[in-house]
Amino acid sequence: MLAELAARPLPPLSYEEPLGSPSLRRSVSRELLKSGIAADPASILITSGALQGLQLIALGLLPRGSTILLEKPSYLYSIHAFQSAGVKFSGLPMDQGGLLTGRIAAEALRTKAAMLYTIPSFHNPTGIVMDRERRQAVMKITGELGLPILEDGAYQELWLDSPPPPPLKALDREGRVLHLGTLSKAASPGLRIGWIVGPEPVIRRLADIKMQTDYGASSLSQLAAARWLDGGYHEEHLTVLRGKLRERREFMRQLLQAHFTELATWSIPAGGFYIWLSLHQPMPLRRLFTAALQAGLLLNTGDLYDRGDSRHLRLSYAYASPEELRCGLPALAGIIKQNINRQS
Ligand X SMILES: Cc1ncc(COP(=O)(O)O)c(C=O)c1O
Residue ranges in contact with ligand X by CB under 6 A? 49-51, 75, 119, 124, 152, 154, 182, 184, 189, 194
Of 19 and 291, the one with the shorter C-beta distance to ligand X is 19
| Shortest CB 210 distance to ligand X, Å | 14
Backbone angles phi, psi at 221, to 5 degrees: -65, -40
Task: Give the contacts of 43 (CB within 8 A, at least 6 positions apart).
Answer: 197, 198, 199, 200, 203
Q: How far is the CB of 249 from ligand X (least distance, A)?
A: 17
The span from the CA of 30 to the CA of 234, in Å, is 12
Contacts of 290 (CB under 8 A, 6+ apart): none
Cβ-closest position to ligand X: 49
Nearer to ligand X by C-beta: 70 or 113? 70
Burial pattern 214-237, b for ≥16 Cβ within 10 A else e, equals eebbbbebbbbbbbbbeeeebeee
Residue 150 C-beta: closest distance to ligand X, Å: 10
Which amino acid, residue 282? P
- CB of residue 154 to ligand X, shortest distance in Å: 4
Which of 189/232 has CB closer to ligand X? 189
Name the nearest CA neighbour of 49 among 214, 168, 212: 214
β-bridge partners, 17: none
CB of 155 to ligand X, least distance (A): 7
Report in angstroms how near the CB of residue 26 gets to ligand X at its nearest: 20
Q: Measured between alpha carbons, how far is residue 312 from residues 138, 219, 249, 275, 286 in Å?
A: 26, 40, 18, 10, 12
Q: Which is nearer to ligand X, 123 or 259 (CB)?
A: 123
Nearest residue (CB) to ligand X, 119 versus 241: 119
Among 73, 133, 143, 140, CA closest to 97:
133
